[in-house]
Chains A and B, each alone.
Chain A
Amino acid sequence: MKSLTVAAGVAGEICGVGLVVAAAWLITRAAEQPPISALGLAIVAVRGFAIFRGVFRYAERLTGHDVALREVADRRVEVYESLVHQDDSDADALKRMVSDVDSTQDRLLRVRFPVTIALISAAAAITVCILVQPEAGAVVAAGIAIAATAIPGATALAARRMSKRKADAHAELIARCLDLVDGARELAAAGATDAALAKADQQTKAVHRLERRAAQIDSIAKATAVLLQGLTAAAALSTTDNEISAAVLAFTTLAAFELVMPLVDAAQQHHPHAKVHKGQNRHVRATLAPGATAVIGASGAGKTTLLATLAEEHPEARALTHDAHLFRTSVRANLMLAKPDATEPQLHEALRQAALRDVVDELPDGLETVVGEGGHGLSGGQRQRLLLARALLADAPVLLLDEPTEGLDQELADAVLDAVLAARRGRITVVVTHETRLERFDRVVELDGGRVVYEGEPRCRNDPASCSSGCTSSPRSAG
């Protein structure tokens, strides 16, 4: 398939070069006023090349896209399969992977195919020159070699260095923008908006300076190619004392350069290869106990890590984590992910427990409403409850919930948490929470700095002396 694209591309380019060269031959030969039969073949060639050039180009573009999209499909499956068994890929890394894989298409269509086609076609043009006049062929070969390798190579090198610096400058500008938008009110309240704008302007100037340098590199490269093209043509035609040879050499040289001149643009394209990123896991250990366990602790104490460890150690566990994702499909399909054989009543029960039934009833298509990115907009609280309903529907022997009521107001949060704990009675449920009403849990695990500092009944936590069992260590005083 790939060779078909290249073949069609080369054929198209050869038709393009052939058209002008055949026309040049036709004209110079005609000037010698031979019998018209001597021109017959050239006339046919000119017309044929004119028609087939477009046809071949069309075939090249169409098959090229087909090949590129096939390759993207392969890469997607490959990347997916390599990532499925890694537990530690964060959302940003995943998004990066997606764009890396999708740039496979650009890499093929904008770099690999055009470069291959241009080089093969240029080689064919050089061959024509060598056949006409070997010395001229050598000159043209040298000129083309510079235009096809040295100029794009040098440009690529400079562009790569520049794009690295530009990426840094952009990252800095992004940070300034985020500060300006997300911190707009703080800046206004502190009277610091102008200072922040000045900093952003400074960064804009830095980006502008880099862009001016990049423009210089690009325009010098292009002008050099134009210079080289004209000079090589002049040199090539000066090697012969035959008008027809001179015409063929000059026109072939000019056309051959047109083939390789766009390589400067391809050289400035930068498409990073998809890499599988690996992070590392910390481990926080705690044992599972029947009933409802609250995991508490300051931010960064290791609560989320504890859940991850538990999920890993207990394959039967299902979890609602911070990176839980709502797929761009119906509410029903999003729920059924947790339990593919769920019945209608089970779906409604899960929605009821998450206090979401009324919300779903009001959606335009009820359970069939498409949600997720690009779908029907749910509020943050509704989204969170839908994720919770899905986790509940899984009906797992072990359920791990990371701040399940985050983003809900206090009353709703209380009601939802009570409903969840009631529904889960008799099974193992671990809830990471900032709630202060811990008495509704059977057990509390408190973490600090990645260590369990308390493990036992909620009522014993504030008064360890009255309880003799359950504590792994005495809780530290707050403050």
Chain B
Amino acid sequence: MIRVLLLVAQGILIVLQAEFLARAIAGLDPAVLPWLCVAVAGRALVSWAYALHNQRGAARIKADLRVKLARRAHSRPSGGEFATLLTKGLDALDPYFGGYVPQITAAAVIPLIMLVRLGSADLTSMVIVLVTLPLIPVFGALIGLRTRDVTERQWEMLNHLGGHFRDVMVGLPTLRTFRRTEHQAGVIRTMAETHRRLTVRALRVAFLSGLVLELVCSLAVALVAVPVGLRLLEGGMELETALVVLLLTPEAFLPLRALGTRFHAAAEGKAVLAQAERVLAEPQPRRTGKTAVLGEIRLENVTLTYPGRSRPALDHVSLVIEPGERVAVAGPSGAGKSTLLHVILGFVAPDSGRVLVNGVDLADLDLDRWRRELAWVPQSPHLFATSIADNLRLGLPEIDDNALQEAARAANADEFIDDYDKVLGERGTGLSSGQRQRIALARAYLRDAPVVLLDEPTARLDPRSESAIVDGAANLLSDRTAILVAHRPALRALATRTVYLSQGRT
């Protein structure tokens, strides 16, 4: 609404500026100059408000989308892709919401105001403009349809050729390894040349729409100006009116022309918007339910198949874990060991069968509260881009420094932490896998939860790191219920019994 009001004001000020300018020229009347300046100032003011309104509108839409999308982060497959969508991706909405969408309104409002004024000044000119104006969208659409087929066919080819350089550059270390770097410079040159040739060939057609657009706009000015000039010659028209017509005719075409150029810039934004909307349309998991009362954890015929897989990850698994028991889960890789823990954590729900906590189905529990009873050390822990201390006290902001250091000692993590306030890089870069595992162990230690879930914390570690982890885990597990996914014997020794999983079956 504000946008339409601003556009109407802008249209009126454009007309006023033209009137005053025409009078200043035609009568050489200096008295009109201050009025002209006022109109110009008004136009500048409105154009400031209009640009600010549009750009801030786009910024607000982006901020809203960022907040909403962040709430869907947990179900995204790739962090990098998601981060790109939220930063650079959404920035493509600037030309869409800040440029293209307002331009649609402008293309409806401004030409209308111009036509009204042109009509009251000179009906013939108005008719010429009225007839030529629709040619822009019509020709634009016709040529657009024609070129779309051509460009879509070539697009894949162009993409392939354009991507070649990136492929070679990223593969440079590999080429070096195999001593195959010499000929690539020639290949790069040839590929880039072919890319250029084909692109220019495609553009020859694609730019035709621009050519037609320019032609229509320019010819309309010529079509209006020449007859107006001839009528002036015969004395059938006032100079002032003629000048107003000449000033306003291009203004009628300007918004439509700008719409054409903004159309392409907006295409990317449109795609990003669709992507964001797809993400937001995904169903959200429920967050409320009964409060868990701790007791035995019972899996009854739990079966789960991941989407796109033919074999179930868990196949009729039944298992009871009594309080105080430490159960090791062993079996080959891909047997469903981690999935078992994920089911207990409520990250995935079984397709059939159920998980009962002290007799209550996990599906009816408040998962947030249930997870408070659990401490989980994943196979490859994620470390957050924050201080080591904050990484340790994840979810427990009230933990004090003494408790932190004690937990780090218990998890054998104190030996490599020299500064608890040191901020880690993205995804916790700077720490080895063994060190990450020990941080995760210390985290679990701090949670002081009655049930501990360890997911193969020593899988890919060298013997020295492994023994440090096993020592730390031993401290953690005493007096607690635990499920240990463990391949190696050292960790399995901490369990009171062992369950074997193979191909999703016990």
Q: Which of A16, A28, A170, A324 contacts B25 (CB 8 A)?
A: A28
A116 interface residue (CB < 8 Å to B): no
Contact between A61 and B163, CB atoms less than 8 A apart: no
Chain B residues within an 8 Å CB radius of A250 = 21, 24-25
Could you tell me the distance between the alpha carbons of A200 and B83 in the complex, rounded to whole angstroms? 11
Partner of B79, one of A177, A298, A318: A177
Distance in angstroms between the alpha carbons of A183 and B436 in the assembled complex? 13
**What residues on B are CB-neighbors of A205 within 8 Å?**
63
State whether B462 touches A434 (Cβ < 8 A): yes
Query: How many whole Å from A434's CB to the nearest CB in chain B?
Result: 6
Q: Determine the main DSSP class of B at the interface with A.
A: helix
Assembled-state Cα–Cα distance A47/B381 (Å): 72
Inter-subunit contact B467/A479 (CB<8 Å): yes
Total B residues in contact with A, Cβ cutoff 8 Å: 144
Q: Is residue A290 within 8 Å, beta carbon to beta carbon, of the partner chain? A: no
If A101-B165, A174-B83 touch, whether A39 touches B233 (CB-CB below 8 Å) is yes
Interface mask (B229-247 → A, CB under 8 Å = 1, otherwise 0): 1101101000100110010
- CB neighbors of B among A119-136 (8 A): none
Within 8 Å of chain A (Cβ to Cβ): is B283?
A: no
Contact indicator B229/A30 (Cβ below 8 Å): yes
Q: A27-B225, A177-B86, A230-B37 are in contact. Are A373 and B230 (CB under 8 A)?
A: no
Q: Which B75-110 residues sit within 8 Å CB-CB of chain A?
A: 75-76, 78-80, 82-84, 86-88, 98
Restricting to B1-58, which residues have a CB under 8 Å from any CB of A? 17, 21, 24-26, 28, 30, 33, 36-37, 39-41, 43-45, 47-52, 55-56
Task: Flag the segment in A233-241, A348-356, A357-365, A463-471 that touches B.
Answer: A233-241
Q: Is B426's CB under 8 angstroms from A175's CB?
A: yes
B188 contacts the other chain (CB 8 A): yes
**Cβ contact within 8 Å between A409 and B332:** yes
Question: Taking the complex as formed, is A20 at the interface, i.e. its CB lies under 8 A from any CB of chain B?
Answer: yes
**B321 interface residue, CB < 8 Å from A?**
no
- Among the 9-residue stretches B203-211, B296-304, B402-410, the one with 4 or more Cβ atoms under 8 Å from chain A is B203-211
Decide if B124 is an interface residue (CB 8 Å cutoff). no
Residue contact A246 to B28, C-beta cutoff 8 Å: yes
Q: Which of B60, B394, B463 contacts A208 (CB 8 A)?
A: B60
Q: How far apart are A2's CB and chain B's nearest CB, in angstroms?
A: 15
- Pairwise interchain contact B382-A183, C-beta atoms closer than 8 A: yes
Chain A: which residue is nearest B49 at the CB level?
A219
Contact with B along A229-271 (1 / 0, CB 8 A): 1110110011001010011001100000000000000000000
Give the residue of B173, B242, B447, B487 whose beta carbon is less than 8 angstroms from that of A323.
B173
Cβ-based interface call for B196 (8 A): yes
B250 cross-chain contacts in A, Cβ below 8 A: 20
Query: Is B274's CB within 8 Å of the partner chain A?
Result: no
Q: What are the residues of chain B within 8 A of A51 when measuring CB–CB?
A: 215, 218-219
Question: In whole angstroms, how far apart are the Cα atoms of A62 and B396 in the complex?
Answer: 61
B255 to chain A, nearest CB (A): 14
Q: Does B289 contact A (CB under 8 A)?
A: no
Closest to A184 in B: B74
Which residues of chain A are near B347, meaning CB under 8 Å? 185, 188
* Interface-located stretch among B111-119, B142-150, B368-376, B475-483: B368-376
Q: Mark A76-114, 1 if CB is under 8 A from B, else 0.
A: 110111011001010100110110011000000000000
B59 touches which one: A191, A211, A479 (CB < 8 A)?
A: A211
Instruction: Find the B residue at minimum CB distance from A249.
Output: B25
Q: Which of A69, A230, A237 has the most chain B CB within a 10 Å cutoff?
A: A230
**Interchain CB contact under 8 A, B62 and A211:** yes
B167: contacting residue among A196, A224, A227, A372, CB under 8 A = A372
Which residue of A is nearest B192, CB measured?
A73
* Chain A positions 313 through 338: 1 when the CB is less than 8 Å from some CB of chain B, otherwise 0: 00100110101111110000000011
B74's partner among A72, A193, A229, A406 (CB-CB below 8 A) is A193
Inter-chain CA distance A388–B319, complex, in Å, is 40
Instruction: State whether the Cβ of A187 lies closer than 8 Å to any Cβ in chain B.
Output: yes
Residue pair A208, B63 in contact (C-beta under 8 Å): yes
B47 touching A180, Cβ below 8 Å: no
How far, in Å, is B186 (CB) from chain A's closest CB? 9
- Chain B min CB distance to A7 (Å): 17
Contacts of A95 in B (CB 8 A): 166, 169-170
- Return chain B residues, CB-CB under 8 Å to A315: 179
Within 8 A of B (CB), among A34-91: 34, 36, 39, 42-43, 46-47, 49-51, 53-55, 57-58, 61-62, 65-66, 69-70, 72-73, 76-77, 79-81, 83-84, 87, 89, 91
CB of B73 within 8 A of chain A?
yes
Instruction: Indicate whether A394 reaches chain B with its CB closer than 8 angstroms.
Output: yes
Q: Is the CB of B462 within 8 A of A191?
A: no
Q: Which residues of A contact B51 (CB under 8 A)?
A: 215, 218-219, 222-223
Would you call B172 an interface residue if the criterion is a C-beta within 8 Å of the partner chain's C-beta atoms? yes
Q: How many residues of A contact B (CB 8 A)?
A: 139
B473 to chain A, nearest CB (A): 14
Q: Is A143 an interface residue (CB 8 A)?
A: no
Q: Does B276 contact A (CB under 8 A)?
A: no
Among B145-202, those with CB < 8 Å from A are: 160, 162-181, 184-185, 188-189, 192-193, 195-196, 199-200
Determine which residue in A190, A211, A222 has the highest number of CB atoms from chain B within 10 A of its CB, and name it.
A190
In contact, A27 and B218 (Cβ under 8 angstroms): no
Give CA–CA (A200, B73) in the complex, Å: 11
Q: Is A178 part of the binding interface, using a Cβ–Cβ cutoff of 8 Å?
A: yes
| Residue of B whose beta carbon sits closest to that of A400 | B177
Which parts of A393-443 form the interface with B (CB within 8 Å)? Answer: 394, 406, 409-411, 434, 436
Q: How far is the CA of A467 from the CA of B199 in the complex (A)?
A: 69
CA distance A338 to B184 in the complex (A): 14
B336 within 8 A of partner (CB):
no
- Measured CA separation A374–B378 after assembly (Å): 31
Shortest CB-to-CB span from A28 to chain B, Å, is: 7
Q: Is the CB of A50 within 8 A of B28?
A: no
A226, B74: Cβ atoms closer than 8 Å: no
A26 sits at the interface (CB 8 A): yes
Segment among B310-318, B357-365, B427-435, B493-501 that sits at the interface with chain A: B427-435
Q: Which of B367, B447, B461, B468 sits near A190, CB closer than 8 Å? A: B447
Q: Could you give, for residues 119-158 of chain B, a 1 whenever the CB lies within 8 Å of some chain A CB and a 0 otherwise?
A: 0000000000000000000000000000000000000000
Complex: chain B residue closest to A91, CB-CB: B170
Q: Mark B315-345, 1 if CB is under 8 A from A, else 0.
A: 0000000000000000011100000001001
Check if A148 is an interface residue, CB within 8 A of chain B: no
B388 at the interface (CB under 8 A from A): no
Residues of B within 8 A of A179 (CB): 79, 382, 384-386
> A9 at interface (Cβ–Cβ under 8 A)?
no
* Chain A residue at minimal CB-CB distance from B396: A190
The smallest beta-carbon distance between A472 and chain B, in angstroms, is 19
Q: Quick check: is B221 within 8 A (CB to CB) of the other chain?
A: yes
Of chain B, the residue at the smallest CB distance from A89 is B172
- Assuming the A-B contacts A182-B382, A337-B178, are A230 and B334 also in contact, with contact meaning beta carbons closer than 8 angstroms in the complex? no
Known: A94-B172, A234-B40. A23 touches B74 (CB 8 A): no
With known contacts A27-B229, A247-B243, A178–B80 Cβ distance under 8 A: yes
Instruction: Give me 21 A-to-B residue pairs in the complex whose CB atoms sit less than 8 angstroms apart, sorted by A's number.
Output: A23-B229, A26-B225, A42-B229, A50-B221, A83-B169, A101-B165, A173-B83, A177-B87, A179-B382, A186-B382, A188-B347, A190-B396, A191-B395, A197-B70, A208-B62, A211-B56, A237-B25, A250-B21, A298-B464, A325-B174, A337-B180
Q: Which 5 A-B pairs have the closest CB atoms?
A: A230-B40, A409-B333, A190-B395, A299-B432, A73-B192
